[in-house]
Amino acid sequence: MIIPDLPVISKSKLPSIRLTRRHFLKTTAAAVGAIAMPNVIPATALGRDGRVAPSERIVLGGIGLGGRGTAVLNWMLAEPDMQFVAICDARKIRREKIKNIVDGKYGNTDCVLYDHIRRFLAERTDIDAVLIATGDRWHALASILAMRAGKDVYCEKPSCMTIAEGQAVVETARKYGRVFQSGTQGLSSASRVFGIEMARSGRLGKIHTAYAQIAPWDAAILRHDWLPAEPEPSKEELDWDAWLGPCPWRPYNVRYVNGGWRGHYDFHTSCIGEWGAHTIAQVQAGINASNTSGVEYEYVNNLTGDGMIIHFANGVKMILALKKECWPGVSGQRFDGTEGWIANSGDGGDYSRASSPALLAESEKVVDEYTARTQCPMNHGRNFFDCIKSRRFAIANHEVMYRSMSTIHAANICMWLKRNMKFDPVKAEFINDPEANRLRSRAMRAPWII
């Protein structure tokens, strides 16, 4: 990773199994019975023929898998030591779509459907981890509920709606000793890691300025109205109350469930959160600031935040940018140092530009050195599964997520209140600004509360 050594999650925080006399006798009897049986073990149970033994498999479930979630699931299904067994979604059409994909992959009909998250988490004690890819509004709450149920979590970005939600995710991961991976896969992208390492390692000299691309749609100024009411579908087709989750009650409108929630304050983290969840995390990694957040925010008088300057305590300024000339693709980053600049996006060498061709000459070597140092592959899902087994922190762990998302939320609040502001990352509060501090959290609607 970006940090020299990724810590290991303390084993003392992992759930323990209480050994009762009844459990001991039952286990002993089972063992004696096993000795009496013929010693024939299927090859699949031993992991022969290229198959992974059941004891080594990671059992995975899904929560709210739409278009993005389906894409991530397909990446994960390629991993031989992962078995997907159940999907929970408030929409029947999406539950059934995921079941068809999974059953087609395994050649059976075993994938189980759930329409309620609490029942899903309570019943599936066999599940080791969950993939969460709901809309923004559900990310933090679903992650917290899953970790409380003893599951490790891969949660799509942006992984929290507020600074307070991010803090709650961190506290839950620590308390229950869970592995958390935010879906900011740019931290596992060879091109972006190349740029991050060039900046972090000093090859560009002292970094003074960085750029983080924000999404070229929607705005930082979000809507506070809501769409007109339409007749609700049956609860079997869509549980509207569950779909809304912790958000304020709003009348049903089909546009919400088809992606029209974006741009609304109730549901979205703005164009800054949309891509900044990737790019700001990448920039903070490159400037050795993954464990902190921006400290000063300069308001820009536009709808998107394009051109906002965010200052870090180490002297680096980060500029939010819509313009693509900084980089050749999407979700781009750029680092400017005293010895040159480098810009990256996408994957592969074709997505990197630099002030000098010499800076691009050793891209493979730089990435290989990073992989050897951190033991993090250029595969975000694989990193998550490896950490489930090793109990190491994932590359986009809860701390990294919280710090980068705090920068995003502070930038949003700066835009909403239309003034410059200062933020204390240690106290997680704005300095001498009670109005801004009130926006660090939002009320959550019962029973969907943390």
Dump pLDDT digits (tens) for 23-47. Answer: 433 444 444 344 344 444 444 444 5
Residue 366 has pLDDT above 70, yes or no: yes
Q: Closest Cα partner for 244 from 353, 141, 103, 337?
A: 141
The verdict on pTM exceeding 0.95 is no
Q: Between 324 and 426, whose confidence is greater? A: 426
Crossing angle (nearest 10°) for helices 67-77 and 380-390: 60
At a CB cut-off of 8 Å and minimum separation 6, what does 211 contact?
Answer: 283, 318, 319, 320, 321, 326, 332, 333, 334, 336, 343
Evaluate whether 251 touches 279 at the Cβ level (below 8 Å): no
Whole-angstrom distance, CA of residue 411 vs CA of residue 422: 10
Q: In one letter, which amino acid is 124?
A: R
Evaluate whether 349 touches 356 at the Cβ level (below 8 Å): no
**Backbone angles phi and psi of 72, in degrees to 5:** -65, -40
Core vs surface per residue 149-180: b (16+ CB within 10 A) or e: bbbbbbbbbbbbbbbbbbbbbbebbbebbbbb
Retrieve residue 83's tokens. 């078995």
Band the pLDDT of 22: cuts 50, 70, 90: very low
Evaluate whether 126 touches 59 at the Cβ level (below 8 Å): yes
Whole-angstrom distance, CA of residue 360 vs CA of residue 366: 10
**Backbone angles phi and psi of 238, in degrees to 5:** -155, 120
> Does an H or E element contain 371, and which?
helix 363-374
**How many residues are present in the chain?**
450
Give per-residue pLDDT as tens, 308-338. Answer: 999 999 999 999 999 877 777 889 999 999 9
At residue 5's C-alpha, the angle toward residues 4 and 7, to 5°, is 150
Whole-angstrom distance, CA of residue 348 vs CA of residue 363: 9
Q: Between 47 and 135, whose confidence is greater? A: 135
Give per-residue pLDDT as tens, 74-110. Answer: 999 999 999 999 999 999 999 999 999 999 999 999 9
